[in-house]
Structure formats: C-alpha cells, structure tokens
Structure 1
C-alpha cells in the first residue's frame, strides 16, 4: 500500500489553511469544479475557521469558458506551486484539444516537486498524457473509458467513482467530486466534519472508491430480469470478440429462441440487434475521442472488415465512419 501524501494527513489545529489549486481547462465541466469548491467552502463554514483556501488558474490567467458556455474569471496563469499544494485539473469535453504542450510541460514540472495532483472528470486524460498515471490505478468518465483504455494501456483503468493512488487522484465526473472531497476532508479533519458537509449539501449517500460510476444494468434498461441482465453484461464485456446468441443463451440456461423472446419482450429488439448497437456505440466513442484508424476501430469493436463496419455504421447513424470523424474534427477547436 502506498504511503499517504502529506497533503492528506490529518492536520494539527495550528496548521495554516490547506491550499487547493484548480486549473480550469477550456470547456471544463462546471459541475465537477463547483462541487469540489463548494465542499471546501462549506467545510470552512462548518468549522468556523478557514481550513481550506483555493486559487483558480488557467492558460493566459484571464478568463476561460466552461462546457455550458459560462465565462469564468481566473486568479492567474499557470504559475509555480508550493510542494504542499493540492492541484486539481478540471477537464470536460474536448479534453484532448485542451491538453496542449504548455499544459503538459507545466504539469510535469510541478509533478517533480511531489505535489498531490488530481484530475476531475476527463482530466485523467491530461494526467495520463503527461505520464503521471503510468503504473497507477485511475478512473475517468464512463463515456471516455474505451478511448482511454486504448491509448493508455500502462494505466490500470477502473470503473470506480474516484481513485486515490499515492499522490495521484482521479474522478469519474459528475457528482463524484463531492465524494472525493468528502474523503479528503475526512482524512484531513475527521469524518464528523465530512458528514456535516454532506448534510449541508443534502448528500445522503456518500460513495467510496469501491463504488462504481454507472447504474446497474437493470436500472439502466429499466428491467429487473436476472438472466437478461447477465446477458447484457456479457455483451458489454465482450465487444472485441462478440459471443454468438446460442452461447449467450447457453450461459444463462435457456434456448436461443427463449433468448430472442426475452429481448423482444423487454427491449423490443433482437439480441443480435442490441449487441450490434453496443458495438457501434463503442466504435463511435473511439472515432470521436481517439486518432485510431477506422480499420483498427472496426477490429476493436468486433468487425472483421472495414466494409462491413462501414455498412453497419451507416445503417445505424446515417453517416459513414469517415464522415463522422471528419465532422467531429471540424467541430473540435484547435
């Protein structure tokens, strides 16, 4: 087990406020950032003294914009940090474009000081691109998991809400910033204060790093049928090498015909069609989030040939994989 970073240790009463430095990448997710800052603000209020302070940085040091279109005034440019600062990179959509050479070189320089560094939402991509997650456990928003796993095979990717591995922290996005900050507050000042912060946030169910980020299969599909759920889980974990309907049926103790009826009854489509949609959804994520060739995307999603892949893709999305990638590139800022 890795040692706890000094910034996470419980502080003596006389310690000065712990400083968090938030770096807002272009098109950052406002919810992830605001949930983290509000948790610290409420901790100060509940304690009746300034336990935490924060500074908000970004490229240029003037203003930046969230993915919602809201502008945000920064406290400064990418400046030199103190070793005992806690650095949080806030990502969002188009994180690949926002992760430029200047951000990466600055991040690597600060990491050499031993600073505790976290990536909120999609910013795990930024940390991994800088080489800061090599050999470590990490998480990222479920929508980015496929592309992340393809690009950063040296990172042990999990589906957890958040992950703390030594001096690296990653979160899955959304409200997971609250769960992370409550853990950091509990480690620093005790669980009583963390619970008080949760109460103020009307946050009744605090998640840990053992909780996964996505809803269970029955909740997602709106159907509670154990055999159907098991088949869908098998499909989701076997995209590159799809399993035939007969083997899927055998795995849950039913005939292929019974499996067909089950899918028709609850999902209004055949098992084959549902499986195809899962594979095409992964393919679309890879096309839009990575620079993998269309041929490699096809292979990663269980298609034996690019022509078959293109035909299926066009039938479902009414465009070709090549056009999909081209239109996305045109929309993505340089």
Structure 2
C-alpha cells in the first residue's frame, strides 16, 4: 500500500472537497467526514478546507434514516475541487447510476483525488477507479464487491489510503480517515486538537480492522462452528482445550479440525490464538494495563511466550506496539483563550455562479469560540 501524497502545510489556499451524495447514503458517515474539516478551520483560525455537497441534479436526496438533505450544487456546476468523496449507504448497487460513473471518471481525468465512505467505494469501483488500489468498504458490502470487482484489492481495514485514493468503511471510520489526512496536511497537533474537541479518545490508524461478524461470513449453515467460536470468544483469559470444545458441540476432535479448515481456512488452535492476540492488541492500545497483565488477561502463561506469539503474528513485539501507539496517538493540545486572528478576506471571495461553501459561514460563526485559532500551524 502506498500512502497518498502529502499536501504542503503552507498551501496558498484552502483545499476544496466535494461530497457526492448517493440515494440512501448514511448520514453518520457524511458527518464523520465533514466535521473534522469544520473543526480544523476553527482551531486554525482560517479556512484550511471548504466543502460542497453534491447530487446529479442539485435536488434533495434522502439519507438512510429518512432525513432529506438539500445539496449545495449539482455535478454540472464547475467547481475547482481538489478531492471528491462518494457517500454511500443502503443498496449502492441500485443507487449508483451511469451519470455518477461518467462524472466520477471525468473528475479522475482532471486529476482529482478520490475517496469514498461507507459503501461509496462501490461507485468508484464501478467507474473502474479502484482497479489496482487497496480499498475499504463496509463489511456488509464486502463479499458483493469482491465478486463484482475482482481487480480491486479489498480489505477489512477501517480505512485505506492508497496513493490518491482514500476509502473508509462507514460509521465513525471516516473521522479516523479524515484526521489522518488532516494530520498529514497540517501536522499532528491540529489533528490532536480536533480529536480532543470531539472527545474522540483514540484515533484509529490504517492497521485497525473492522470486526466482521462471523455470522455474516458463514450464514446459518454452520451452527456448530458459530457455537464453538462463541465459546472461544467467551473464554480468552482461560482458554478451553480443543477436546473440550469438541465435546461441547458433540463432534470429534478430527471433525472440529475439518470444520475450521473448510470454513475458516485455518486450524482451530490458530483461530483461537488469533482471537486472543487480537484482544491483546486492543488492550495494549486502549488501556494502561501492563504487558504482564495483558498476557494474563488473554490466556498466556508467561510474558515471553506471549511476546513470541505476538511478534510472530503482528510482526512487532508487544512492547513496541505499546510504545508505537503512545508515540503516534494524538496528544492533547493546550487551547488558548485569546488567539483569535483576522480571517483572510480572500477566503470569503466567491466566484460568480459558484455556490458558497458552508465552511465560510461555519468559520465566521466560530470566531467567538474560545478555541478559535488555538492551534498554531508551523
């Protein structure tokens, strides 16, 4: 995976993003993507980002929760966009139209950076704009996309940034993606300030995975396997032996092995170890528990054995995971009370027949906030 090119922290003007809203898009994903941009402007005290919501004809569109949103413009309005982000939701196969595909392909020809949230990746894939790229999508859409678009390198990561493509799985994952992009554009201190304002305790990175429910992977065809996995998940601190697990569901040890190999492509012991190590990683990243305590909580009899297993599975020892997490996690910033600065008048100049970005009015209203211009950009 190749990271997207970083934007200069001293860019002459704000970056402009267009959010293409598909029918039945998820409102939480749109808000998770836009709110960090608003707060970036507020904390910086100037317009770093501006954004427009778009539909094909400029007409209202309904979100998946039934709320109707009136966009800023239609896709026919010539906007100088730096990035286009497709906001999908329920039923992307039905929502994506030929006109969406044609417009996205046109934007790509103009060298726009492209992104998607929730199931918006479906639109980019249908336009052929994710071929050869790593991409994330909500887990409900994962299997269908893998079948429909084999040239796309789909992943279960919360979000993926691959060159000039940025895709997030949905829910609050777009916030993690946008904070990562903002941090690359303008520094870690600004991203830290945004996460603090949103009471967002830990910004997840590109290595964090979606938790795909096993029922979604297996359906209802393997009730015994689902029961065994549920037993494993409920007994991470004191692992149950494989013979005991087999006895609980009335199968032999050999049948148990076959179930896992056929459906999950690994041995039951390997799957159990994966569950324990994944839990250990969460505890290392999200709690102050010591490595010894984490090892014990995840069923390892000794710290050296835990460290060996952890290194073999994740590629780094738990101590480095803990140090790396604290090194990159966003630290709180000291927010000043009197750091307001004058807005550059150029930020509010509009081009005739061009809609006014909501970023301008939001920034103007934020001038009275105590956090306004509280983060100094280098």
For 1:104, the equivalent position in structure 2 comes to 101
**Structure 2 vs 1, CA of residues 24 and 271 (structure 1 numbering), >3 Å: closer, same or farther?**
farther
Report the TM-score, using the length of structure 1 for normalisation.
Answer: 0.66
Report the TM-score, using the length of structure 2 for normalisation.
0.58
Matched, 1:259 2:245: yes
In the superposition, relative to structure 1, how do residues 80 and 168 fare at CA in structure 2: closer, same or farther (>3 Å)? farther
Aligned to 1:224: 234
Q: Does 1:195 align with 2:183?
A: no
SS at match of 1:57: strand
Question: In structure 1, what is the equivalent of residue 92 of structure 2?
Answer: 95
User: Which digits, 9 at most, give the CA deviation of each residue in 1:177-233, with x for residues without a partner?
Assistant: 110110111011100000000001110011111110117989x9584335999xxxx
Residue 312 of structure 1 is matched in structure 2 by none
Q: Which residue of 1 aligns with 2:141?
A: 144
Number of residues of Structure 1 aligned to a counterpart in Structure 2: 243
Task: Identify if the C-alpha distance between structure 1 residues 2 and 160 changes in structure 2 by more than 3 Å, giving closer, same or farther.
Answer: closer
* 1:60 matched to 2:27: no
Equivalent position of 1:154 in the other structure: 151
Q: Residues 28-177 of structure 1: matches in 2 within 5 Å?
A: 28-79=25-76, 85-177=82-174
Greater relative contact order structure (CA < 8 Å, 6+ sep): 2
Question: Secondary structure at the residue paired with 2:101?
Answer: helix
| Partner Cα separation in structure 2 for residue 66 and residue 47 of structure 1 | 31
Superposed CA RMSD in Å reads 3.1
Q: Give the alignment of 1:301-316 within 5 angstroms.
A: none
Moved more, 192-201 or 141-150: 141-150
C-alpha separation between the residues in 2 aligned to 1:216 and 1:97?
24
Aligned to 2:7: 9
1:122-165 Cα offsets, whole Å, 9 max, x none, are: 01111111000111111111111111111111111111010011
In structure 1, the gaps of 5 or more residues are 230-251, 265-269, 280-334
Specify the SS of the correspondent of 2:119. Answer: helix
- Give me the whole-angstrom Cα distance separating, in 2, the residues matched to 1:10 and 1:60: 34
Kept after mapping to 1: 8 A contact 2:183/2:191: yes
